[in-house]
Amino acid sequence: MTDPEQILANYEGTLAAAQRRSDAIRETLATLQVTERSADGQISVTVNDAGNLVDLKLGNALQRRDGDTVSREVLRVVQAAQGRVASTVQEAMAPLMGADSEAMHMMMDKLRSAQPPADAPWSPPHSGLGQIEDDTPPPPPPAPRPPRPHRPDDDDDFSDGGFLR
């Protein structure tokens, strides 16, 4: 039979090791960043482990370019960086969590579902407001009802006097 003190000591050791591993994972994720640059090097973006933009650097040469072109390129570079987040997290976490562990698979599934694919082409959003009530003509008025037919008088009193005498 095993000594209860020994069981408790083993359990505390296991908890301490799990706490150290958890702290290492948290620290690694807190410092993990992915940086991506445009082909001409004028745009540099950095995203964190969740794919959120944490840094954006624009070169001076972009001042002479069309704003729409620059914004499309910025979004393309951000998407490329976000698309690399999952693989970067997997590389950093594999030694800590195990490359084929259930926890790693769950984390990767969550990260991949949250980020756009790196090669997804950017398309501008639809810039319309939709149908506005004033833009549609009002419906035609309903057809008039035919007048009601007169009901025959069924009054037996032929005097023109009032009922109060």
pLDDT of residue 112: 76
Which of these, 21, 18, 54, 20, lies nearest to 36 by C-alpha position?
Answer: 54
pLDDT of residue 105: 79
Which of these, 48, 51, 45, lies nearest to 70 by C-alpha position?
Answer: 45
165 residues of the chain, pLDDT tens digit each: 578 888 888 889 999 988 888 888 888 888 889 999 999 999 999 999 888 899 999 999 888 888 889 999 999 999 899 888 888 888 888 887 777 888 777 877 877 777 665 555 555 555 556 666 666 777 888 888 888 887 766 666 666 666 665
pLDDT of residue 158: 62
pLDDT of residue 43: 94
Q: What domains lie within the chain, and their CATH numbers?
A: 33-121 (3.30.1310.10)
Euclidean distance between CA atoms 106 and 101, whole angstroms: 9
Euclidean distance between CA atoms 70 and 61, whole angstroms: 11
